[in-house]
């Protein structure tokens, strides 16, 4: 059967198509930081739409004046009568939010866990951590009409479980990673995979992680360069003494090479999707390691890697905890001037979770290595807390992102923050 530009093998997801619109918060008195929307955390019931909560994934632009995102809970009650199965939402830059779809759970899809990606043909794809016949997670598509269909449901041991954020290449192939599956290593759960979904809908495991020196648990997914090489990080494996993970490269023929072995001093345990610039330099974060074990921002120039030896990693910033921030759980945004922007899940103000040293921050690491805290998050219900995903930036240099906790009902929200023009006079 010919599939053309549309992937084959779809399963209609059990769930509800929703077009309920909720009013934005009043941000007329907001300064550089604005709370655009605060989620309620509720589920969808007859004649009463609730909007979900805990937006683990970040935002993706819609090409107009808004963004699409996902929440990990809320929506349809099929998964859990209290928390729901998650939603896809749309929000404008002024804070007007609309629930597009409520997930209905197994055997469809449940609990979206990463940002959507937009393909060149206008389709949006995403992943869920659960759903499918084996409840191992799915890759799904969002149509223009607001329907969601499953493109691929993971089987578990053979092809992976718990997929992460996707990426695409020029030929229309989709790539991603699963945190588990792919073999019997890592205590029988499998150490994770990198997979490929071709334009005809067929899925292939490109690489199954062996654990140990080869790395394990690639939570952050992969990015592709112009030559078709894939790069990513693993949360575990690498140094047998610390098991702090690795940075890896997969060539187009599926050969894996470990570029960096983390060892606590140079970073430890990365959930980060890498960012790659036009020169082939890689940027990312680790949640641990560094000066006090609170995580680092690192850079890796792949052009300087020797044929066989390790690459030279540079620590751009080592987090100090407290007001400096701690525990960055995802990657960084790179602007045209070489400045990096990201979030930490802890640090900042001490109003919540004292053991984790604060509620999170938004940070900038300038091209010269100088770090600036743009926002320190406050108490759990008076402000957002625990941001976990990559930021995006519009043409006016406003940053947009999500936080999984805090807000009016304690289940997170969407924020915007203006960056300082004087620091970026070339824009």
pLDDT tens digits, 116-158: 999 888 889 999 999 988 899 999 999 878 888 999 999 988 8
Q: Which of 34-43, 55-64, 129-138, 380-389 has the lowest mean pLDDT?
A: 380-389
Region for residue 50 given its phi and psi (left: phi exceeds 0; alpha: psi -120 to 50; beta: otherwise): beta
Q: Are 21 and 98 in contact (CB under 8 A)?
A: yes
Nearby residues of 241 by Cβ (< 8 Å), 6 or more positions away: 263
Q: Which of 91, 120, 153 is the last residue of a domain?
A: 153
131 located within any domain: yes
Tell whether the model's pLDDT for residue 77 goes beyond 60: yes
CATH number, domain with residue 329: 2.40.10
Tokens of 313: 């990693």
pLDDT at 223: 95
20 vs 87, more confident:
87
305 located within any domain: no
pLDDT at 11: 40
Average pLDDT of the segment spanning 376-403: 85
**pLDDT confidence bin for 330, thresholds 50/70/90:** very high
Tell whether the model's pLDDT for residue 8 goes beyond 60: no
163 located within any domain: no
What is the C-alpha separation between 286 and 153, in angstroms, rounded? Answer: 29
Nearby residues of 258 by Cβ (< 8 Å), 6 or more positions away: 213, 214, 215, 238, 246, 247, 248, 310
305 vs 359, more confident:
359
Name the E strands within 221-309: 222-224, 230-234, 246-250, 256-261, 275-276, 281-286, 296-301
Distance from chain centroid for Cα 360: 16
**pLDDT confidence bin for 424, thresholds 50/70/90:** very low
pLDDT at 322: 86
Q: Which of 17-21, 270-274, 296-300 has the lowest mean pLDDT?
A: 17-21
166 located within any domain: no
**pLDDT confidence bin for 40, thresholds 50/70/90:** confident
Nearby residues of 387 by Cβ (< 8 Å), 6 or more positions away: 343, 344, 345, 360, 362, 377, 401, 402, 403, 404, 415
Tell whether the model's pLDDT for residue 231 goes beyond 60: yes
143 located within any domain: yes
**pLDDT confidence bin for 310, thresholds 50/70/90:** low
What is the C-alpha separation between 231 and 216, in angstroms, rounded? Answer: 14
Q: Which of 106, 135, 153 is the last residue of a domain?
A: 153
What total number of domains does the chain contain? Answer: 2
- Give residue 420's domain range: 319-427
pLDDT at 153: 94
**pLDDT confidence bin for 383, thresholds 50/70/90:** confident
pLDDT at 425: 37
115 located within any domain: yes
Please tell me the total number of residues recorded for the chain in this structure.
Answer: 427
CATH number, domain with residue 74: 2.40.128
Half-sphere exposure of 162 (CA within 13 A, CB side): 12
**pLDDT confidence bin for 28, thresholds 50/70/90:** very low
229 located within any domain: no
312 located within any domain: no
Average pLDDT of the segment spanning 162-181: 93
pTM of the model: 0.88
Q: Which of 99, 125, 153 is the last residue of a domain?
A: 153
Q: What is the 3-state secondary structure (H, E, C) of 58-109?
A: CCEECCCCEEEEEECEEECCCCCCCCEEEEEEEEECCCCEEEEEEECECCCE
Q: What is the 3-state secondary structure (H, E, C) of 380-392?
A: CCCCEEEECCCCE
pLDDT tens digits, 396-420: 899 999 999 888 888 899 999 998 6
258 vs 11, more confident:
258
């Amino acid at each position: 059967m010919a599939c053309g530009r549309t992937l084959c093998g779809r399963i209609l997801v059990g769930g509800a198509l929703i077009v309920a619109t909720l009013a934005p918060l009043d941000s007329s008195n907001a300064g550089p930081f604005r709370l655009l929307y605060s989620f309620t955390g509720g589920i969808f019931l007859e004649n009463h739409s609730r909007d979900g909560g805990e937006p683990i994934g970040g935002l993706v632009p819609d090409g107009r004046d808004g963004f699409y995102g996902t929440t990990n809970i809320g929506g349809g009650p099929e998964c859990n009568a209290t928390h729901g199965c998650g939603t896809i939402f749309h929000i404008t830059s002024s804070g007007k939010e609309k629930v597009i779809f409520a997930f209905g759970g197994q055997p469809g899809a449940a609990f979206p866990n990463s940002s959507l990606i937009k393909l060149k043909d206008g389709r949006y794809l995403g992943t869920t951590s659960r759903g499918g016949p084996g409840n191992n997670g799915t890759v799904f598509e969002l149509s223009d009409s607001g329907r969601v269909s499953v493109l691929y449901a993971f089987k578990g041991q053979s092809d992976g479980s718990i997929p992460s954020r996707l990426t695409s290449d020029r030929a229309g192939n989709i790539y991603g990673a699963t945190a588990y599956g792919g073999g019997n290593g890592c205590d029988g759960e499998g150490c994770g995979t990198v997979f490929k979904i071709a334009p005809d809908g067929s899925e292939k495991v490109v690489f199954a992680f062996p654990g140990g020196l080869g790395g394990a648990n690639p939570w952050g997914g992969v990015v592709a360069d112009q030559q078709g090489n894939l790069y990513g990080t693993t949360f575990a494996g690498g140094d047998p003494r610390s098991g702090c993970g690795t940075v890896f490269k997969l060539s187009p023929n599926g050969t894996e090479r470990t570029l960096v072995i983390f060892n606590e001093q140079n970073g430890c345990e990365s959930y980060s999707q890498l960012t790659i610039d036009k020169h082939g330099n890689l940027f990312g974060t680790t949640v641990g390691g560094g000066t006090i074990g609170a995580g680092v921002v690192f850079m890796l120039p792949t052009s300087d890697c020797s044929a066989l030896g390790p690459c030279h990693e540079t620590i751009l910033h080592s987090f100090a905890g407290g007001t400096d921030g701690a525990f960055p759980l995802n990657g960084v945004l790179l602007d045209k001037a070489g400045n990096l922007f990201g979030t930490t899940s802890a640090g900042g103000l001490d109003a919540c979770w004292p053991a984790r040293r604060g509620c999170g921050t938004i940070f900038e690491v300038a091209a010269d290595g100088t770090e600036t805290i743009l926002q320190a998050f406050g108490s759990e219900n008076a402000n957002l807390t625990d941001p976990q995903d990559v930021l995006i930036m519009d043409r006016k240099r406003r940053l947009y992102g999500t936080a999984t906790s805090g807000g009016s009902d304690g289940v997170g929200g969407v924020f915007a923050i203006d960056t300082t023009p004087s620091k970026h006079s070339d824009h």
